[in-house]
Structure 1
Amino acid sequence: MSFEPSTNSNSSSDKSDRKLPDRSKGDDLQISRTDMNMLIMNYLVTEGFKEAALKFQQEAGLQEPALCSSLDERIMIREAVQNGRIPDAIAMVNALHPELLDNDRYLYFHLQQLQLLELIRGGRAEEALSFASAALAEAGAADRTALTELERSLALLAFPDPHASPFADLLLPSHSQKIASELNAAILKMENQEYTNPKLCSLLRMILWSQNELDKHNIKYPKMTDLANATIEQPKL
């Protein structure tokens, strides 16, 4: 009895001959210094760090950055938000774009929430409760997300030391910086700027999204495990 050669062996041979991508080549990919410098410059200008942008421009030998007309105002607004001078920040926003906070009530809620947090930070519990009732209760009743954020803020009052509570993240500088960036992006959007968020931030979000999609499909790849330090972990074979 004779047997014809199996076609499967040929297909297996063909598959073995196919070249698989060499992951090690990814280590040879380099981002040009010019592209990296432009990403940094875009971040500084978009976020409103004027002095840093001009200093970086000189040190990196770049062309003078195109500064937005509202850059000085955005710098003052950011400083007011991050220093806890929320009424001043709101007044400056209203002077620059009177309709902005009227049209974006969630952003306005975030600014008022920061004002509430400043009262809590200062140990002014009665004023905080009064302010929350007068200024934030309506937003909480209209929006479930806003209500949750309001409840987290008021929960700080239940702890002798709010900084040691489970909601202490609301009192960290990073929280006010986040709201300041949210407000900065809203101003740029009002002015029809091409980019309302730094390109660098968009790239990082894209990396996180891509890695999440690859993880869902159990695909092995060089994974960036620490964005701050650009630490990449090679896949285990």
Structure 2
Amino acid sequence: MNKKVISKKEWEEKLSEVNISKQDLNKLVMNFLVIEGYQEAAAKFQEESGTSSIVDLNSIADRMAIRSAIQSGDVEKGIEIVNDLNPEILDTNPQLYFHLQQQKLIELIRKGQISEALKFAQEELASQGEENEKFLEELEKTISLLAFEDTSKSPIASLLDHSQRQKTAGELNAAILTSQSQDKDPKLPTIIKLLKWAQTQLDSKCQYPRIKNFVNGEFE
């Protein structure tokens, strides 16, 4: 079956008929800058474009400091900053609070502070495990790291990977964004994914000027 061929001229004429306001595009850019934590760029963009953000841009620095603290293993500092920012975030999210405490336990195990880890698990996490079966399973899984003199040989050694810190930091970051009535993820990358998917669907039906460079919008 012959594919329909759409010329570049015809394609550009069709694209010109799509009405997208500059204001909507500016909101997409601001959404990306705020969620990804580019405080200075967001402030500059707000000044130059007149696009306002629904959150105080100063709060971005706090959110990035929290993420940085968790990713570096300083869970206590992260909790301290988030409580200064909005104590209700942890008060209303027991799962998030448990995962932060679990991360703190992981950091103690990472440092080889075995007695401190056991004491912390008993005093801070055991009661949460008693109230929630899922928490108890996660706690037992974490504690099982102590059964190995060389924790890297444990089947759950991945808990000690940097990716676990990133996972915990991501969960906390998403909770902060939700408390600020922000999306958990920026909209722009999702739109790019949808565009790539749409092109894939079109490929089997017609020949058209495909976008080959999504950074500068260059067509084939």
- Give me the TM-score of the superposition, normalised by structure 1: 0.61
1:73 deviates by: 0.4
User: Closer, same or farther in 2 for the Cα pair 1:126/1:96, shift >3 Å?
Assistant: same
Q: Percent identical across equivalent pairs?
A: 44
- What is the aligned partner in structure 1 of residue 121 from structure 2? 132
Structure showing greater Rg: 1
In structure 1, how many angstroms separate the alpha carbons of the residues matched to 2:177 and 2:165?
A: 18
Query: Alpha-carbon deviations, 1:10-31, whole Å to 9, x = none?
Result: xxxxxxxxx79x7xx9xxxxxx
Query: Alpha-carbon deviations, 1:132-162, whole Å to 9, x = none?
Result: 0011011111112111111111011011111
User: Closer, same or farther in 2 for the Cα pair 1:165/1:100, shift >3 Å?
Assistant: same
Where relative contact order (Cα < 8 A, 6+ residues apart) is larger, the structure is 2
Aligned pair 1:84/2:73, yes or no? Answer: yes
> What RMSD in Å do the two structures reach over aligned CA positions?
3.8
In structure 1, how many angstroms separate the alpha carbons of the residues matched to 2:192 and 2:137?
A: 28
**Contact 1:49 1:75 (C-alpha < 8 Å) held by counterparts:** no
Unaligned runs of 5+ in 2: 7-26, 198-203, 205-220
- What is the aligned partner in structure 1 of residue 163 from structure 2? 174
Unaligned runs of 5+ in 1: 1-18, 26-37, 211-220, 222-237
Q: Aligned to 2:107, what secondary structure does the other structure show?
A: helix
State the number of aligned residues: 177
Written as runs of structure 1 = structure 2, the 5 A alignment for 1:1-237 is 45-50=34-39, 68-69=55-56, 70-193=59-182, 195-199=183-187
Query: Alpha-carbon deviations, 1:138-194, whole Å to 9, x = none?
Result: 11111121111111110110111112211111111111111111111111111122x
In structure 2, how many angstroms separate the alpha carbons of the residues matched to 1:106 and 1:162?
A: 25
Amino acid at match of 1:118: E
User: Closer, same or farther in 2 for the Cα pair 1:105/1:202, shift >3 Å?
Assistant: farther
Q: Aligned to 1:178, what secondary structure does the other structure show?
A: helix
- Give me the TM-score of the superposition, normalised by structure 2: 0.65
**Contact 1:47 1:184 (C-alpha < 8 Å) held by counterparts:** no
User: Closer, same or farther in 2 for the Cα pair 1:137/1:46, shift >3 Å?
Assistant: same
In structure 2, how many angstroms separate the alpha carbons of the residues matched to 1:201 and 1:143?
A: 36
Q: Aligned to 1:196, what secondary structure does the other structure show?
A: coil
**Contact 1:39 1:199 (C-alpha < 8 Å) held by counterparts:** yes
User: Closer, same or farther in 2 for the Cα pair 1:165/1:39, shift >3 Å?
Assistant: farther
Amino acid at match of 2:65: M
Write out the 4+ residue segments of structure 1 that deviate beyond 4 Å after TM superposition. 38-44, 62-68, 200-206
